Amino acid sequence: MPKKKYLVSLTPEERETLEQLFTSGQASVRKLARARILLKADEGWKDEQIVQALDVSRPTVERTRKRFVQEGFEIALNGRPRQRVYAHKLDGKAEAHLVALACGKPPEGYARWTLRLLAERLVQLEQVEIDTVSYETIRRVLKKAGSNLGSRSSG
């Protein structure tokens, strides 16, 4: 059997940090699983033993070992930080117009505003310069503003 390419060797400080995760009660399940994998790997357990004991997949164990060796303790424990940045479709001015629109009377032929109707009308406004907006964006903005129109529950 070939020797392990990615050997985990924890410092005493890293080991203490991992052990404190279990007593704090604040860590996510994924983070705790990674911590257990790192502790067992440091103790010399084989991947198959870790898979059996922790009920995780073999690729998870291998990936955690590899990240520890190549990218360090923090990345192995917490995962890679998210790189994607989402641009907001609506600025403050557009949000204010949306809230004012939602608080106003619904258009002729409608008993109340719907999210899709608000999205359609917001695009038509000359004061707001957007080409498209989804009803889900409308829901999030109204929810943030405290409007009940943006809530998922209708009852």
Asked whether residue 136 is domain-assigned, the answer is yes
pTM of the model: 0.59
Asked whether residue 21 is domain-assigned, the answer is yes
Same domain, 71 and 111: no
Domain range for 128 is 92-150
pLDDT in the model for residue 119: 92
CA distance 34 to 63: 10
10-residue averages of pLDDT along the chain (155 residues): 79 93 88 95 94 95 95 93 86 90 91 93 86 91 81 53
Asked whether residue 87 is domain-assigned, the answer is no
Same domain, 55 and 98: no
Same domain, 17 and 70: yes
Asked whether residue 29 is domain-assigned, the answer is yes
CA-based end-to-end distance of the chain: 62
Same domain, 97 and 121: yes
CB 129, CB 97: distance < 8 Å = no
Asked whether residue 33 is domain-assigned, the answer is yes
